[in-house]
Amino acid sequence: MSGPRPVRAPRGTELNTLGWQQEGALRMLMNNLDAEVAEHPDKLVVYGGTGKAARSWEAYDAIVRTLETLKDDETLLVQSGKPVGVMRTNEWAPRVLLANSNLVGDWANWEEFRKLEAEGLTMYGQMTAGSWIYIGSQGIVQGTYETFGAVARKKFDGTLAGTITLTAGMGGMGGAQPLAVTMNEGVAICVDVDETRIDRRIGTRYLDVKADNLDHALELAIQARDERRGLSIGVVGNAAEIFPELLRRDAPIDIVTDQTSAHDPLAYLPVGISVEDWDKEREADPAGFTEKSRKSMALHVEAMVGFLDKGAEVFDYGNSIRDEARKAGYDRAFDFPGFVPAHIRPLFEEGLGPFRWAALSGDPKDIAATDKAIKELFPENKHLHRWIDMAGERIAFEGLPARICWLGYGERHLAGLKFNEMVASGELSAPVAIGRDHLDSGSVASPYRETEAMKDGSDAIADWPLLNALVNTASGASWVSIHHGGGVGMGRSIHAGQVCVADGTELAARKIERVLTNDPAMGVIRHVDAGYEHAADVAKERGVRVPMTEG
């Protein structure tokens, strides 16, 4: 069978494959394409512009078919969303190895990529789309919550109460912003050109209300701010018009950021084109569309710099909008920083990052049990407890029930081993897939985002994500992936992912202990190597070996 159709991962304990390692991959691939999870499942697009889980429906069918018969000592190779081989390996080896969107340096640009994509030779894997560990908007909520929490600590006495944040992009990832702001007690005005995106976020309770127009949005925002009440407000419009308009009106905005899909100029709607004509226009003239969207991004970023000049806290939220605006000739685009150097790097120095897991049973009770287990494992970590409690109350599951929380080196393997024990004892009704975003401390080279402004200037060194994928493969992950271009677009990033299935076996425990120790250790050593003192202290205190500091 080929062609679009509804996809939903099987639930329960009955296997559709020869083992839980393969079953985990099958269910997570299908879960990525569940209509509750994916932004455009009919096109196999999961999130982040055109981030896909499989190259074509034929490729999807072939992956499923192969996973169904894949043995415990075999490895399926996936090249940009298409299964290309099955190799005899061994039971410690990953069941699936994936490489997505990789291009040789001089060819690593959107133009070349789109040519090859049109010829059916590649696909855009984004980060967790092509590596089958996307879990809906929740995946990004905690990272966004951490970022806004860091902004609050830096500038607003630890809370966003009494402040207004302006942002745009209510898509798969950007849709986490309103909830993250209100979790930090602030007010958010959230702009999106596509009303259905705003309605969808209201449906999942990530966004509180939709304003009738900009005046209404401002009125609601100021009222909530004055009452120090958290509120998120969606407003339909083009950010390249609304941001400059708010600046002209001297709107009382305290924090400005953006998560439109600016990394891909065809996924950013320029001023003057309607949502209805978007597909038609970009297909008819990609080069002309790119030029128009870059011009609009320049207006958008110019307004962000305008707010910066007025004293607002402004940061790029990892979509490369500054570079696109620069390409359109706006020369102050890099006046404001990216969110990693501004707020997240100290967490990365400890190997902290977005750890996540999904209950393959489909039973929300399994996630409730893991939430409880996490709190018991880390009784002192009040920040983590606050997150787990809020997530339990406020996050609607999309697809298989899942949870994310930021854990670091020395913590993740404890959680993984605990979950594996809970599967073995029957406390969880089925195995759990444990993975992470590629946006992590030691798994990505991305000079406009995760590795922007590294202390030693090593921003563009891409050996680290490759070593990360190699060490996770050597350590026994269930599937491992190497991608190019996720987050910030073609030519701007190389990154790796891993997922481990905790199936309750002794073998899984041995693999999990190694993978979930070594994977965050990559973050620690990467930052020690770049000269970060905190990372060096963490390495020393927690016993991470760094040869150049020994002897």
Does position 37 interact with ligand NAD (CB under 6 A)? The reply is no
* Least distance to ligand NAD, CB of residue 170, Å: 5
Active site residues: 405
* Least distance to ligand NAD, CB of residue 83, Å: 25
Q: Which sign, positive or negative, has the C-alpha torsion 260, 485, 516, 36? A: positive
* Least distance to ligand NAD, CB of residue 522, Å: 19
Q: How many CA atoms lie within 13 A of 237 on its CB side?
A: 23
Within a 10 A sphere around the Cβ of 51, how many other Cβ atoms? Answer: 33
Nearer to ligand NAD, 142 or 361 (CB): 142
**DSSP state, residue 34:** B
- Given the rule CB under 6 A, which of 170-178, 364-372, 427-435, 497-505 is the region that contacts ligand NAD? 170-178
**DSSP state, residue 443:** S
Q: Do 445 and 452 touch, CB atoms closer than 8 A?
A: no
Does position 168 interact with ligand NAD (CB under 6 A)? The reply is yes
The three-class DSSP label of residue 47 is strand
Q: Which of 55, 95, 197, 343 binds ligand NAD (CB under 6 A)?
A: 197
* 215: Cβ contacts below 8 Å, ≥ 6 apart: none
Site string for ligand NAD, 363-402 (x = CB under 6 A): ----------------------------------------
Rounded Cα distance between 34 and 37, Å, is: 5
- Residue 244's alpha-carbon distances to 95, 296, 298, 336, in angstroms, are 50, 11, 11, 17
Nearer to ligand NAD, 254 or 437 (CB): 437
* Least distance to ligand NAD, CB of residue 490, Å: 12
Rounded Cα distance between 187 and 233, Å, is: 8
The answer to whether the annotation marks 192 as part of a ligand binding site is: yes
Rounded Cα distance between 275 and 291, Å, is: 17
Does position 167 interact with ligand NAD (CB under 6 A)? The reply is no
- Given the rule CB under 6 A, which of 27-35, 73-81, 259-267, 355-363 is the region that contacts ligand NAD? 259-267
- Given the rule CB under 6 A, which of 165-173, 213-221, 327-335, 401-409 is the region that contacts ligand NAD? 165-173
Q: Which of 172, 362, 401, 497 binds ligand NAD (CB under 6 A)?
A: 172
* Least distance to ligand NAD, CB of residue 39, Å: 5
Write the DSSP string, 475-538. HT-SEEEEEESTTT-TTS-EEEEEEEEE-S-HHHHHHHHHHHHHHHHHHHHHHHHTT-HHHHHH
The answer to whether the annotation marks 259 as part of a ligand binding site is: yes
- Given the rule CB under 6 A, which of 58-66, 185-193, 356-364, 375-383 is the region that contacts ligand NAD? 185-193
Rounded Cα distance between 201 and 504, Å, is: 36
- Given the rule CB under 6 A, which of 92-100, 181-189, 313-321, 358-366 is the region that contacts ligand NAD? 313-321
Does position 263 interact with ligand NAD (CB under 6 A)? The reply is yes
Nearer to ligand NAD, 34 or 192 (CB): 192
Site size with ligand NAD, rule: CB under 6 A: 34
CA-closest candidate to residue 82, choices 119, 111, 47, 53: 53
CA-closest candidate to residue 539, choices 78, 506, 550: 550
Does position 267 interact with ligand NAD (CB under 6 A)? The reply is yes
Does position 239 interact with ligand NAD (CB under 6 A)? The reply is yes
* Least distance to ligand NAD, CB of residue 262, Å: 6
The answer to whether the annotation marks 441 as part of a ligand binding site is: no
Q: Which sign, positive or negative, has the C-alpha torsion 460, 177, 314, 49? A: positive
Give, as ranges, the residues between 420 and 459 that touch ligand NAD (CB under 6 A).
Answer: 439
Strands 209-210 and 231-236: parallel
Nearer to ligand NAD, 192 or 411 (CB): 192
Q: Is 217 exposed, middle or buried (0-12, 13-18, 19+ CB in 10 A)?
A: buried
Site string for ligand NAD, 38-67 (x = CB under 6 A): -x-------xxx------------------
| φ, ψ of residue 98 in degrees (nearest 5) | -125, 140
Structure-token pair, residue 7 = 């996809």
Secondary structure string (H, E, C) spanning 141-201: HHHHHHHHHHHHHHHCCCCCCCCEEEEECCCCCHHHHHHHHHHCCCEEEEEECCHHHHHHH
* Least distance to ligand NAD, CB of residue 551, Å: 38
Structure-token pair, residue 357 = 């897991």
Q: Which of 20, 307, 315, 317 binds ligand NAD (CB under 6 A)?
A: 317
Give, as ranges, the residues between 120 and 149 that touch ligand NAD (CB under 6 A).
Answer: 140, 143
Residue whose Cβ sits closest to ligand NAD: 171
Q: Which residues pair with 231 in a beta bridge?
A: 187
Does position 354 interact with ligand NAD (CB under 6 A)? The reply is no
Numbered residues of the known binding site for NAD(+): 48-49, 126, 172-174, 192, 197, 238-239, 259-263, 268-269, 317, 487
Numbered residues of the known binding site: 48-49, 126, 172-174, 192, 197, 238-239, 259-263, 268-269, 317, 487
Q: Which residues bind ligand NAD (CB under 6 A)?
A: 39, 47-49, 140, 143, 168-174, 191-194, 197, 238-240, 259-263, 267-269, 317-319, 439, 487
